[in-house]
Chain A
Amino acid sequence: MWKGYAGKILEVDLSSGKIDRAALDMDTAEKYIGGKGFGIHTLFHRLPAGAEPLSADNILVFATGPLTGSAAPASGRLELCTKSPATGLWLDSNAGGSFGPELKYAGYDALIITGAAKVPVLLLIEDEEVAIVEADEYWGLDTIATHKKLKEHYSTDHRIACIGQNGELLSPLANVQTEYRSFGRGGAGAVMGSKNLKAVVVNGSGGLKTADNGEFSRMVRESVNELANSPDTGAAKPEFGTNVILSLMDHTGIHPTMNFHRSTLDERPIDEHDVRKFYKRNRACFSCTIRCSKVARVEEGPFQGAYTEGPEYETVWSFGSHCGNTDVASIIEAEHLCDAYGMDAISVGNVVGFLIDCFEKGLLTTDDTQGLELRWGNSEAIVAATKLIGLRQGPGDAWSRGVAYLEDTIAGARGLGAQVKGLELPAYDPRASKGMALAYATSDRGGCHLRSWPIGEEIMNMTNPLGLHTTEFKPEVVKSQQDLFCLVNCSGLCLFAAFTLTLEQIAPLFSSLTGIESLGNAEKLLEAGERVNNLVRLFNLREGLTAEQDTLPARFITEPLPDGPRCGATVDVSEMVQTYYKLRGWSDDGKPTRELLDRLEIATES
């Protein structure tokens, strides 16, 4: 009898309509934990090498962690794993909300979706009852209308993951929205769209048994207290949300502006207080005491009536300083559009800033932009461009293919893009933070800040900050953070909780909930994170990744930052990458050695 885990995997083949339920096995649980681990375990063994991401061959895995659905704080997370149409490589996206816990209450640790339906469908899961239902009436609706209509038809307690128009139109920027949270990056929405799968709707009536209730409750109380007493999770995030770091990133020169050409703006940049003025209420994901999520509304001006759950720090950057824009109201509208059409606000904002850069350089004219004056800070044009991308209308069709594609197709634009492996960079300048440069170069899903976030160790570690300018110890930090963050993405826990709690506090949550002794060992948990990262690396190598791609765009080596606190900085990651390979036990060309795979017991897997 499983404790903590539901003990079952649900598998649905949309081509044949076949629905299977398989028992979870203990070896997989111990070695791969859940979430990202279950995702790579499935994709590595079952996805044919070289499979086309937007074909029926691709596989979608919604995977919970052992803590998902429990009272452990900030533990309602869910992973969505697939092969990315944006990068052609591994993709996992993590979202909060309510879907993950509901999937477990319905009796499943993970949901595997294969094949493709011939007509638009949705998948309905109510405990043992699982059905593929025609979804014509939902196709074409945005994600907010889809949620609303589905909840009216089923119930408000049915939990939903769905795509909007951007996913239906197979854009590599498309995300999957779940209860107004986002599986943002890498284009999983297009994979759902290619399967004709509009939505997954789940409602469960069960729950999870606890192995050692006394110990688990005690550790939950300790974690809750720790989060409440932390200046980050107990004060800053509840007050400002993720925008709390806006001033810090600005003052340290990390915050890129104007498509990474500068780190300052001529106007005063947006700070957390500017954004907070728009907050109307707090919201939280399931079982979370931090409540970093906000509902913001615009009450006056040209964007009056705009609202969003957010805006998040990354969006405030991507549609803000990245586009030379300081109008918070327009950012709220842009984020709302991204959520509604179902697309990644980091990548879309990055694309818009890139387009403005091209326009300002004369590489694009109003003939190319459907008349839009794409100038730095033109908030109306920024919002209009976002709409074109969302519905892939006119030039928006090409724009929605992402920065890497546009660099190849706009004459003279090559080298202007800020992307790694085809995924657009988020809100940290790699020249300003040497750790972040390595984090971008070695992230398993391309330009991403959530595989490791070394900025924390560089400037926010109060006892021994490593500093931004040096490359010393950055490979060590990136490697160890990648393994820890990976473990967190296997667990069901939110990264924000893991920034505050130590692994020694987290580990007993696993073991007391599941009764699996090895999960209570912090070292073994970290090793599981390392194992999952290495299996992802093998997957990426099989899909054609080479060591040459573990790098940054050349512009960050050749163009020094022209202003701000890190004025003059450039970054060359090649030496750090080699040191990182050595630390990982990888060969000079970035391949895990046999010895390493044996140590991690991946030997039998590959």
Chain B
Amino acid sequence: MFKIRKSDCTHCRLCMLACTAAHEPGLQSVKQARIHIEDDWPEIGGIEVCMACKEQLCIMTCPEDALTWNGHVVLDEDRCIKCHECVGACPYKGIMIHPSSNYPLYCDKCEGQFSCVNVCPTGAIKRR
């Protein structure tokens, strides 16, 4: 889904702003992003986002079968009990938590728009 080059990331967090705006139009924030830049000054700790891995530990771990795969991870909010087992299971730390609703947040590729990729000024995150 993504090709990531941590060494090119500048920690500007334009990807997080764009991701939040793509899912909450008109909201200027990084707090509802499905991608997270982990800072480890002076280096970058990681570009954390769903890597669409084969193992799919999030889906396997969910005790309520609330997660399915349809080109990206899909959450059934009616089934989700917000236990965050999936968040802990992801080896890429690629699942965030909504600050108010507490639901896990999954990358959905912005329905093919890839908002984060479009705004990254250095190409640290690209489509694979």
Residues of A participating in the B interface, judged by any CB pair closer than 8 Å: 4, 69-71, 98, 101, 105, 147, 156, 179-180, 204-210, 213, 217, 224, 228, 281-289, 291, 293, 295, 307, 309, 513
Cα A369 to Cα B28 with chains together (Å): 53
Decide: A283 and B100 in contact? CB cutoff 8 A: no
> Do A283 and B29 form a contact, CB below 8 Å, given A205-B100, A288-B12, A291-B122?
no
Contact B21 A71 (CB under 8 A): yes
8 residue pairs, one from A and one from B, having the closest CB atoms: A207-B29, A205-B99, A284-B12, A284-B10, A208-B28, A213-B26, A289-B121, A70-B28
Interface of B with A (CB < 8 Å)? 7-8, 10-14, 17-18, 20-21, 24-32, 38-45, 99-100, 119, 121-122
Question: Shortest beta-carbon distance, B63 to chain A, in Å?
Answer: 26
Q: Which residues of A contact B8 (CB under 8 A)?
A: 282
A-B contact sample (16 more), CB < 8 A, given A210-B28, A217-B21: A71-B28, A156-B39, A179-B41, A207-B27, A207-B30, A210-B26, A210-B27, A281-B7, A282-B122, A284-B121, A285-B12, A287-B17, A289-B12, A291-B10, A293-B10, A307-B42
A sample of 21 cross-chain residue pairs with beta-carbon separation below 8 angstroms, ordered by A number, consists of A70-B17, A70-B28, A71-B18, A101-B30, A156-B38, A156-B39, A180-B41, A205-B100, A206-B99, A207-B29, A207-B30, A213-B25, A213-B26, A281-B10, A282-B122, A285-B12, A287-B12, A289-B14, A289-B121, A295-B43, A309-B42
Known: A206-B29, A207-B31, A209-B27. Contact between A295 and B42, CB under 8 A? yes
List chain B residues, Cβ under 8 A from A69: 28-29
Main secondary structure of the interface of A (DSSP, over half): loop
Contacts of A207 in B (CB 8 A): 20, 24, 27-32
Residue of chain B at shortest CB distance from A148: B41
A281 nearest in chain B by CB position: B7
Are the C-beta atoms of A283 and B10 separated by less than 8 Å? yes
What is the bound-complex CA distance between A395 and B28, given in angstroms?
Answer: 50
A156 neighbours in B (Cβ, 8 Å): 38-40, 45
Q: CA–CA, A69 to B21, complex, Å?
A: 13
Q: Return the chain B residue nearest A280 by Cβ.
A: B42
Q: Is B17 within 8 A of A71, CB to CB?
A: yes
- Closest Cβ of chain A: how far from B97's Cβ, in Å? 10
Which residues of chain B are near A206, meaning CB under 8 Å? 29, 31, 99
> Within the assembled complex, what's the spacing in Å between the Cα atoms of A582 and B37?
51
Which of chain B's residues have a CB closer than 8 A to the CB of A281? 7, 10, 42-44
| Chain B residues, CB < 8 A from A284 | 10-12, 121
Q: Is the CB of A286 within 8 A of B12?
A: yes
Chain A residues, CB < 8 A from B14: 71, 287, 289
With CB as the reference atom, state the residue of chain B lying closest to A3: B26
Bound Cα distance from A515 to B41, whole angstroms:
37
Whether the pair B29, A105 counts as a contact (CB closer than 8 A) is yes
C-alpha gap A198/B40 in the complex (Å): 21
The answer to whether B121 touches A205, judged by C-beta atoms less than 8 angstroms apart, is: no
